[in-house]
């Protein structure tokens, strides 16, 4: 519930375009953010289902790419989720700074419109 309230409030603050009413822009930002969060979850779910060695960077890039295509709200959600996930991994799981840096590179690549297939490993089923 707190996340939803934060998304709605942040959407009003971040949307400053003059061509639409503030409520419409804020609603669109929030809707895109929710959709972007769903895209990130779907990529995570697919990564877990695929359980394919060397494919994590591909799923990082794909989740961020799909989320960012929704618009500013989706890109914002992808950045927040990616940063939080990498922070948690470096603090809790101890996977190391190098792995986190590589994940963040893939995250940024996808979020900036780069083709996620750059990170696709050979042999990953076409389902993904």
Helix-strand-coil split of the chain, %, nearest 5: 75, 0, 25
pLDDT in tens, 39-73: 999 999 999 999 999 999 999 999 999 999 999 99
The label of the residue with tokens 């780069």 reads: 114
What's the pLDDT tens digit per position in 69-99?
Answer: 999 999 999 999 999 999 888 777 667 788 8
User: What SS3 class is residue 30?
Assistant: helix
Higher pLDDT, 23 or 40: 40
Assess whether pLDDT exceeds 60 at residue 117. Answer: yes
Domain ranges, ordered by start, for the chain: 29-119
* Fold that domain 29-119 belongs to in CATH: Topoisomerase I; Chain A, domain 4 (1.10.132)
Q: Which residues contact 124 (CB under 8 A, 6 or more apart)?
A: 50, 52, 55, 58
Torsion, Cα 69 70 76 81, to 10 degrees, reads -80
pTM of the predicted model over 0.75: yes
């Amino acid at each position: 519930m707190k996340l939803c309230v934060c998304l709605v409030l942040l959407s009003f603050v971040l949307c400053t375009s003059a061509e639409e009413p503030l409520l419409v822009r804020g609603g669109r930002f929030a809707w895109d953010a929710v959709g972007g969060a769903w895209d990130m979850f779907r990529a995570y779910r697919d990564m877990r289902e695929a359980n394919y060695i060397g494919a994590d960077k591909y799923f990082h890039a794909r989740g961020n790419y799909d989320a960012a295509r929704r618009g500013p709200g989706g890109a914002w959600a992808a950045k927040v989720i990616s940063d939080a996930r990498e922070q948690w991994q470096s603090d809790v799981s101890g996977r190391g700074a190098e792995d986190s840096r590589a994940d963040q590179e893939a995250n940024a690549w996808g979020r900036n419109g780069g083709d996620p297939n750059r990170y696709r490993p050979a042999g990953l089923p076409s389902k993904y």
